[in-house]
Amino acid sequence: MTHTETNVQRPLWRSPRATALIAISLGTVGVAQRDIHRRASSEIRGSKVLWRLVSLNAVGALAYLKWGRTDSITSD
């Protein structure tokens, strides 16, 4: 049996699914952090500092994107 024929499993962090999940997670966190940075404090529900801390992971970032922003649509 040669080295290429062995059935060696890759570590979990090297699997394509894990790589995709990490990329999506980092992207979500990046979008939330950028949005917090660009928005005025009046357009964010609560403290910007608190939302920055909460959105350091994907679940918190999704929570911010769903509930942390106020409607910025202005009526003419």
Mean pLDDT within 9-37: 90
Instruction: Name the percent of the chain lying above pLDDT 70.
Output: 80
**Residue 24 pLDDT:** 97
Domain residue ranges of the chain, discontinuous segments joined by + = 44-69
| 19 compared with 36, residue with greater pLDDT | 36
**Residue 37 pLDDT:** 97
On the question of pLDDT at 8 being above 80, the answer is: no
Q: How confident is the model at residue 49 (pLDDT cuts 50, 70, 90)?
A: very high
Helices (H), the chain: 16-38, 48-54, 58-63
What's the rounded Cα separation, in Å, for the pair 63 and 27? 14
End-to-end CA distance of the chain: 74
What Cα–Cα distance (Å) separates residue 66 from each residue in 5, 55, 63, 69?
A: 48, 12, 5, 7
Of 55, 56, 74, whose CA–CA distance to 65 is shortest?
55
On the question of pLDDT at 76 being above 60, the answer is: no
